[in-house]
Structure 1
């Protein structure tokens, strides 16, 4: 199995502590970008590129209606679809970087899960707080009548009753 590049992007202001906002984008050909060019671009909020591709696809459709220019219209439509299919994920990552996202890493892996595992295993872990001694867990209650301390087994201390 071949290795594919995956782009790791973190949001503006840094990633959330649980890294839920960190994006892992496979860099490569997008079939959705190929077949649904301008729709895919609008879906990813790439408005300018979507409008340009939509306008050029309308021109392509008009050219295909003219018998003399039909090959030009087909070639233009196919070239646009191919361009968006090849470059759609690059458009997306560049747009996110312009919006303030940070490209943290490019990882080559067999699949997305492996890329996530490689990236997240290299991150420093938060220092964990040590657990208290077991002797501190047992709540010792002092008898309200001045008696010796006894074990408080309930949620509430009823004054030694």
Structure 2
């Protein structure tokens, strides 16, 4: 099951007044591994307007390719290249959500669901729960319910200890 971070833009209507505008502007960002970011890290970051992250990924990938070309540095270059791809796949969506939050978006909710449609249904559902009846007893007379005759007082249903063996 995946987690979806739900963000609303600044100035969006409140969740209580769910409208078409609220539904259209709400962003659902899946928390987890992104195959697109793994295969194409720099392009994925450019598409999502993560400019500095994309520039760093391009520079690190260029450095990794140069290290791969040098004799004796193949393992180091391959490790850097793999690290850039894995880091983009694991942390790219977090960087995207953080960029939106820094721009004034509000984190509305975090929903666990199997897919995006289910997450949207859970978030936008307006199921009103009826208030529960008062489940607490109104009459808590402890002396009336205490049936322990060996030791008077509160015993909470536990056997009393009167000091003897």
TM-score range, shorter chain: 0.7 to 0.9
Report the equivalent of 2:40: 36
Report the equivalent of 1:9: 7
User: Matched residues in 2 for 1:83 and 1:64: separation?
Assistant: 19
How many residues matched?
Answer: 122
TM-score in terms of structure 2 length: 0.71
Report the equivalent of 1:108: 112
User: Which of these residues, 80, 84, 100, is aligned with residue 80 of structure 1?
Assistant: 84
Where do 5+ consecutive residues of structure 2 fail to align? Answer: 129-165
| RMSD across aligned positions (CA) | 1.5
User: Matched residues in 2 for 1:46 and 1:10: separation?
Assistant: 19
1:123/1:95 Cα in 2 relative to 1: closer, same or farther (>3 Å)? farther
Please state whether the residue corresponding to 1:25 is helix, strand or coil.
strand
Report the equivalent of 1:131: none
User: Matched residues in 2 for 1:86 and 1:122: separation?
Assistant: 33
User: How far does residue 123 in structure 1 lie from its aligned partner after superposition?
Assistant: 8.0
Where do 5+ consecutive residues of structure 1 fail to align? Answer: 125-161
Runs ≥4 residues deviating over 6 A: none
Matches within 5 A, 1:5-154: 5-15=3-13, 17-18=19-20, 19-122=23-126
TM-score in terms of structure 1 length: 0.72
User: How far does residue 9 in structure 1 lie from its aligned partner after superposition?
Assistant: 0.6
User: How far does residue 17 in structure 1 lie from its aligned partner after superposition?
Assistant: 3.1
User: Matched residues in 1 for 2:78 and 2:84: separation?
Assistant: 10
